[in-house]
Structure 1
Amino acid sequence: MTLTDTHHATAWQVQSLTLSYPDEEFVGRLPLLRAAIRTLPAPLTAPLTAFFDHVAATPLTDLAASYVATFDHRKRFSPYLTYFAYGDTRKRGMALLRFKHAYRAAGLELDDGELPDHLAVVLEFAATGDPVVGRRLMLEHRAGLELIRLGLRETGSPWAHVLESVSATLPPLGKREHEAIARLATEGPPEEEVGLAPFAPPEYMPRPQGGS
């Protein structure tokens, strides 16, 4: 499957929107989103179509509750990519700064209300900002991204379809990636190292998340 720059931009934009909190505005966009993915190859289109079908058949209140229960209350499905590499440690602050610096270099300023490593934000950046850097950020955190995908699929979450589509825009997993995913699944994100001074100002440190 050969993907063009247009394929990537379209897919990442649509995927970004589908990973945002489901509200009436999102449901109203469904016809436009369905139309946008018609030009994409099947590995990208099929899972997104399955997700849109689920959205269309699910009451909005149930969909919203499912979103909160999945992404806000379970760390194993955290949409914040640096969590899987650094956990809730001080080192994560520097990783978050790196994301912010990448966005600023492309002329984009992120709203302070959202952390820069949220997958929806990274996808939006890759689609409309700098596709090369956006793709690299996803590849650097591929193990975490794939662990989210596998976990969502295991629990039968409809958002597994979205992650399947995201994964299909990236290169096939190699031996090294499979080993990194298996290691992360076994060991989990790192825990705080005692005695380390913060690597970034407190305002760039992640806010506490809900329990797993």
Structure 2
Amino acid sequence: MISLRVIARLLDYPEQALFDHQQELVAAMEPASELDLHHSAQLILFIRRFCARPLLDVQAEYCELFDRGRATSLLLFEHVHGESRDRGQAMVDLMDQYRQAGLEIDSRELPDFLPLYLEYLASRNKEDARGGLQDIAPILALLGARLHQRQSPYAVLFDLLLALSGTEVKSTSLEEQVAGEARDDTPQALDAVWEEEQVKFLGEQGCASAQQAAHQRRFAGAVAPQYLDVAQATMGIKGR
């Protein structure tokens, strides 16, 4: 599914190369049949508007949206296991899935980073890719609902992923739940998390939280080269 690779690139940290190759991104959608005309037009419109903005503004917005707080984190297991010990084993299991598919990631990247998982699914056949999206459909819907609430343009990408999954799960069904949530990206909420982590890691020199590591992630070089050569810009979590 070429559209999965395109969405994976759009959900990764914005780089100049993405902006330079926006025409290739759009062109890659022409032969794609997995999205209907309406959804394909939505994705192309997102690309046009996304790349029309100053890169520094887009990068700042990305960090504010996905790296502050956990509610909109792109680390999938954050929404499943939180800080529990089960998260570590889930990471190991997912890494095994990637290796069995011929994919390797470097030490800078966490295996449950959504763009990486989408890249993995894009390398599978259509049936497996849809099954992988269905596995994470509840997470996609929750993230989509939170992004809609924040009036973020990124919300449409999650609606498109749900459409590709073929499930009946929709972000709109979670609007009421999300409306009652307390924001975790306010200065007060972030200070509370920082104080908690300071106590937790006091005296552990060199220890960085997963949230700090997320700021350093970069997708380039994280997957096997044969999956990166799509015009230089284009591109389940089973738990069983």
TM-score (normalised: structure 1): 0.75
Q: Given that residues 66 and 73 in structure 2 are in contact (C-alpha distance below 8 angstroms), is that contact kept between their aligned partners in structure 1?
A: yes
- Picking from 37, 43, 54, the partner of 1:42 is 37
Given residue 164 of structure 1, which amino acid in structure 2 is its aligned partner?
D
Are the counterparts in 2 of residues 149 and 160 from structure 1 also a CA contact under 8 Å? yes
Whether 2:128 is the aligned partner of 1:128: answer no
Distance 1:130 1:159, change over 3 A: same
**Contact persistence 2:5–2:119 (CA under 8 A):** yes
Q: 2:159 aligns with which of 139, 161, 164?
A: 164
Q: Find the aligned partners of 2:86 and 2:177 in 1 and give their Cα distance.
A: 17
Shift of the 47–98 alpha-carbon distance from structure 1 to 2, 3 Å rule, reads farther
Equivalent of 2:105, from 106, 110, 113?
Answer: 110
Q: Which residue of 2 aligns with 1:93?
A: 88
SS in 2 for 1:139: helix
Question: What does residue range 45-64 of structure 1 map to in structure 2 within 5 Å?
Answer: 45-64=40-59
Corresponding pairs, count: 183
* Structure 2 CA distance for aligned equivalents of residues 172 and 132 of structure 1: 13
Q: Identify the range of structure 1 (104-113 vs 134-143) with the bigger mean alpha-carbon deviation.
A: 134-143
More helix by share: 1
Aligned mates of 1:183, 1:109 — CA distance in 2:
40
Give the fraction of aligned pairs with identical amino acids, expressed as a percent: 28
Structure 2 match to 1:79: 74
Deviation of residue 74 (structure 1)? Answer: 2.9
* Counterpart residue number, 1:143: 138
Matched residue SS, 2:139: helix
Q: Which amino acid aligns with 1:27?
A: F
After superposition, the CA RMSD in angstroms is: 2.8
Contact 1:50 1:161 (8 Å CA) reproduced = no
> 1 CA distance for matches of 2:84 and 2:181?
15
Give secondary structure in 2 for the equivalent of 1:86.
Answer: coil
Do the aligned partners of residues 110 and 131 (structure 1) sit closer, same or farther apart at CA in structure 2, a change above 3 Å counting?
farther
Q: Which residue number in structure 1 is paired with residue 195 of structure 2?
A: none
Instruction: Note the C-alpha offset of 1:172.
Output: 2.6
TM-score normalised by length of structure 2: 0.67
Q: 1:184 deviation in Å? A: 8.2
User: Which is further off, 78-87 or 46-55?
Assistant: 46-55
CA contact (8 A) 1:23 1:60 kept: yes
Which letter does structure 2 place at the counterpart of 1:78? Answer: S
CA contact (8 A) 2:9 2:115 kept: yes
Offset at residue 129 of structure 1 (A): 4.8
Give the aligned partner of residue 209 of structure 1: 211
Matches of 1:160 and 1:182, distance apart in 2? 13
Rounded to whole Å, the distance in 1 between the matches of 2:60 and 2:169 is: 36
Change (3 A) 1:168 1:122: same
CA deviation after TM superposition for structure 1 residue 100, in Å:
0.5
> Please, which runs of 5 or more residues in structure 2 have no aligned partner?
183-207, 213-240
> Which of 16, 19, 29 is equivalent to 1:27?
19
